[in-house]
Structure 1
Amino acid sequence: MTTPGTRETPRILEDLFLDEGTGIEVETEADADGEETPADIAKPWNPEQIRVNTKQFSLRNVLDMIEEESLELAPDFQRGKVWKPRQKSRLIESVLLQIPLPAFYFAEDSDGSMRVVDGLQRLSTINDFVRGGTDRGFALKDLEYLGLEGKRFEDLPAPWRRRINNAQITVHVIDPTTPPDVMYDIFKRINTGGTPLNAQEIRHCMSKDRSRNLLKEMTFLPEFDAAAPRMSGHVRMNDREMALRFAGFRLMGVEGYARHSSMDAFLQHTTAMLDDPGEVSDERAAALVKEFRKAMSNAYLVFGEHSFRKWPHGSDRHNPINRALFESWSIALLGRDAADLKRRKAAIVKAARKLMTDDYRYLEAITASTGDPARVRYRFAATEEAAEAGR
């Protein structure tokens, strides 16, 4: 299967967040002219499927909804914590100055409960300040106009507290009859905040507890931490996406992937499956966790610290994790006996490194347009062949 290549090896780029490396390799798409473009390409909607209603709420009403758990702020979602104290304080100052906040987007479920899909950081900040619980919220600092330095919500004079509680916000509510794929596309289009959410963060906000808890369980396994160090609880939820990719390919296979228009659509469908006990039973969900554990254990046994990373001959650089390598090697190593892998370890590593050195078609399949079905098929087939080395 290996086809020697003479073209220049693509550069390995690490994804950044707040100017710091995330440990994950950038995943790009390439157009017909070879130019790299973002992976997400919007598809047309049927306008009749888009149902969004605009409402006015007071902040007191919204905070009550959060307290009553009829409005969800995405459990386990940590992005709001990246705001610096100055950013948080100046948001509160804007409310006190009666500066209108940008509109929020909520998604309504069939039972009437709602989830925040745009404005999560802003609303989390306001909720933390006003109803901070045992930690009493946070103290204001580095304000620009108001002399309220060091004040917490409970320290503010009553008129200031009323001004926050009575502040009106505009909320666009996505109707529960809107199809999930359309809702996801709406979310992507309106996701334009200070630090836009990535695809997995969007899926997390839209999903239910069942898939969230399953992905969390998978990514907090010690075997995952060994094979992908410092990924558990990843600030951009790339750990959850990797586990979701494993689940999708395990449940539907490569040909199941090919029936979807993109990786986004495939992972969105996988999320919906995991949220539905009729699609994935409790027993199958538990089995997925065990399979993920074994795949991670086998990967570390064979590749050690280079698991799921590009590792061509002539280089021992510790590259960032590559998602395409993660999905293909985790599936390829899953059904194999640990003792057999240990015996053939050197041969498998040699075959894998040869793919990443000499086979330009393979390198393309794990670097650019990684969601193209032909490239998905090729990398899975080539990886499976490499996993057979030494027999």
Structure 2
Amino acid sequence: MAIEGAQTPPDVVEDVFEGHATDIEVEDTGEDTTKIQRPWNPDQIRVNTSQFSLRNILDQIDEKSIELAPDFQRLQVWHSGQKSLLVESLLLQIPLPAFYFAEDVDGSFRVVDGLQRLSTLHAFVRGGEEDGFALGKLEHLQDLKDLRFSDLPMPFQRRINNTQLIVNVIDPTTPRGVTYEIFKRINTGGTPLNAQEIRHCMSSRRSRDTLHRMTHTDAFARATGGRLTDHIRMNDREMALRFAAFWLKGVSAYHERPVMEMFLMDTTEMLDDPTKVPDGQVAELEAAFERAMSHAYLVFGEHAFRKWPEDDDYRRPINRALFESWSMALADPDHTTADLRARRDAIVEAARQRMTVDVNYLNAITSSTADRYRVDYRFKAAVADAGAGR
């Protein structure tokens, strides 16, 4: 039955990666992520070039002086053929592209560009039986097929260990925002990293552990349909980070500088600094997020954070704009479980009607979603609809 005044719901496009559906709706933020978001003084950019042997780099990885961003799911997408061809390049003495490291104030390094290459080489040379791999697809050195590093003739082992790598090191005095822009510009991997993957590589353990805990609860798994945890493009961590950003800073802070990438990068820095977000506040953040996830599933069930217009029960992919606005609305401690259960039908009716007839709302969760006015509109709408039936 047609609904009077209903708008035709915009087409929903699900993001696909490596041929696999991700259960995440493609987002149009309206931001030009290729341009410099905020200008800086060129004198702030300090990059030094050094040369290291691969053996030296691998030693530093083993000593934890170089961090390979643990819990980084994207590393799993490199095919055995890609890994083998990278090793073959070293065996053929073909120079690799330069690597970029960001140095921390304590002298340790984060890999800015070349993370997948270094992870592959570390796994081959130092991985052993458990984490290592044997050479597969090779284009020239066919006699080495199916051999592990320990099986290679000693001259080949020495050649790999003695390979010289050019490393551009970003000085720790370079502002974090500048480092982030450098990262975006020199991101040259076979499959370029997305914004959250870049933030993950640049962040410290404290923020990574916080986002990991937030996305590894039963409540989060239920609310997101069980497919988002340990997402291959780290969309689970981005969802949690968006909640953290608005919970810690508020929508008003976003209005002051409405650039989503910088808003999330600033929040990552806050979470990494215990003087800005003490442990007690982190615990409150995690509790609020888990409460929001439990309430979202209680109210919307399998349609939580998904477009769900009236007279249409098709289960669409998760929408980021719906996630950030509704998770914040449902984290409000004034919404108790008993209260929401009693008003569930009224809330669902209000939300579905808005998704059907309110063209401004549909725009706010579909296109130019980073626009400050559209952010404000969807947040206010979620708060209003969450109060339906009172």
Answer yes or no: is 1:49 the counterpart of 2:51.
Answer: no
Counterpart CA distance in 1 for 2:316 and 2:370 is 21
Runs of at least 5 residues in structure 1 that lack an aligned partner in the other structure = 31-36
Aligned to 2:243: 246
Answer yes or no: is 1:314 the counterpart of 2:308.
Answer: no
Closer/same/farther in 2, CA of residues 154 and 27 from structure 1, 3 Å limit: same
Aligned to 2:23: 23
The count of aligned residue pairs is 382
Runs of at least 5 residues in structure 2 that lack an aligned partner in the other structure = none
In the TM superposition, what is the alpha-carbon distance from 1:5 to its structure 2 partner?
Answer: 7.1
In the TM superposition, what is the alpha-carbon distance from 1:10 to its structure 2 partner?
Answer: 2.1
In the TM superposition, what is the alpha-carbon distance from 1:81 to its structure 2 partner?
Answer: 1.5
Counterpart CA distance in 1 for 2:131 and 2:366 is 47
1:23-102 to structure 2, matched below 5 A, reads 23-30=23-30, 41-43=35-37, 44-102=39-97
Aligned to 1:33: none
1:324-363 to structure 2, matched below 5 A, reads 324-335=321-332, 336-363=335-362
Aligned to 1:175: 171
Counterpart CA distance in 2 for 1:66 and 1:29 is 37
1:136–1:152 Cα contact (<8 Å) kept: no
1:40–1:264 Cα contact (<8 Å) kept: no
Aligned to 1:34: none
Counterpart CA distance in 1 for 2:360 and 2:239 is 23
Query: What letter matches 1:19 in structure 2?
Result: G
In the TM superposition, what is the alpha-carbon distance from 1:364 to its structure 2 partner?
Answer: 0.8
2:199–2:265 Cα contact (<8 Å) kept: yes
2:103–2:109 Cα contact (<8 Å) kept: yes
1:277-316 to structure 2, matched below 5 A, reads 277-316=274-313
Query: What letter matches 1:135 in structure 2?
Result: E
1:29–1:368 Cα contact (<8 Å) kept: yes
Closer/same/farther in 2, CA of residues 56 and 5 from structure 1, 3 Å limit: farther
Counterpart CA distance in 2 for 1:40 and 1:263 is 14
Q: 1:14-36 CA deviation, whole Å, 9 max, x = no partner?
A: 11111211111111134xxxxxx
What secondary structure does 2:36 align onto?
A: coil
In the TM superposition, what is the alpha-carbon distance from 1:41 to its structure 2 partner?
Answer: 4.1
Counterpart CA distance in 2 for 1:94 and 1:198 is 26
Aligned to 1:196: 192
Give identity over the alignment, percent: 62
1:56–1:170 Cα contact (<8 Å) kept: yes
Aligned to 1:376: 375
Match of 1:186 among 179, 182, 185: 182
Counterpart CA distance in 2 for 1:199 and 1:353 is 31
Aligned to 1:208: 204
What secondary structure does 2:69 align onto?
A: coil
Match of 1:231 among 228, 231, 238: 228
1:27–1:39 Cα contact (<8 Å) kept: no
In the TM superposition, what is the alpha-carbon distance from 1:260 to its structure 2 partner?
Answer: 2.2
Q: 1:221-272 CA deviation, whole Å, 9 max, x = no partner?
A: 1100000121111111100011111111111111011122411111111111
Counterpart CA distance in 1 for 2:305 and 2:373 is 21
Counterpart CA distance in 1 for 2:33 and 2:248 is 23
In the TM superposition, what is the alpha-carbon distance from 1:317 to its structure 2 partner?
Answer: 1.2
2:8–2:356 Cα contact (<8 Å) kept: no
In the TM superposition, what is the alpha-carbon distance from 1:80 to its structure 2 partner?
Answer: 1.6
2:7–2:358 Cα contact (<8 Å) kept: no
Closer/same/farther in 2, CA of residues 358 and 6 from structure 1, 3 Å limit: closer
Aligned to 2:152: 156
Counterpart CA distance in 1 for 2:162 and 2:103 is 23
Query: What letter matches 2:162 in structure 1?
Result: N
In the TM superposition, what is the alpha-carbon distance from 1:39 to its structure 2 partner?
Answer: 5.1
What secondary structure does 1:29 align onto?
A: coil
Q: 1:329-358 CA deviation, whole Å, 9 max, x = no partner?
A: 011011211111001101100110111111
Q: 1:189-229 CA deviation, whole Å, 9 max, x = no partner?
A: 11122100111100000011000001000000110000012
1:258–1:373 Cα contact (<8 Å) kept: yes
Answer yes or no: is 1:142 the counterpart of 2:141.
Answer: no
**TM-score of the pair, normalised by structure 1:** 0.95
1:117–1:206 Cα contact (<8 Å) kept: yes
Single out whichever of 202-211 and 47-56 deviates more from structure 2: 47-56
1:28–1:38 Cα contact (<8 Å) kept: no
Single out whichever of 134-143 and 291-300 deviates more from structure 2: 134-143
In the TM superposition, what is the alpha-carbon distance from 1:133 to its structure 2 partner?
Answer: 3.5
Query: What letter matches 1:377 in structure 2?
Result: D
Aligned to 2:10: 10
2:6–2:356 Cα contact (<8 Å) kept: no
RMSD between superposed Cα atoms in Å: 1.4
Closer/same/farther in 2, CA of residues 40 and 127 from structure 1, 3 Å limit: same
Counterpart CA distance in 1 for 2:133 and 2:126 is 10
Match of 1:123 among 118, 121, 135: 118
In the TM superposition, what is the alpha-carbon distance from 1:42 to its structure 2 partner?
Answer: 2.5
Query: What letter matches 1:328 in structure 2?
Result: S
Counterpart CA distance in 1 for 2:180 and 2:161 is 31
Counterpart CA distance in 1 for 2:15 and 2:33 is 14
Q: 1:359-385 CA deviation, whole Å, 9 max, x = no partner?
A: 111111111111111111110001111
Counterpart CA distance in 2 for 1:108 and 1:299 is 41
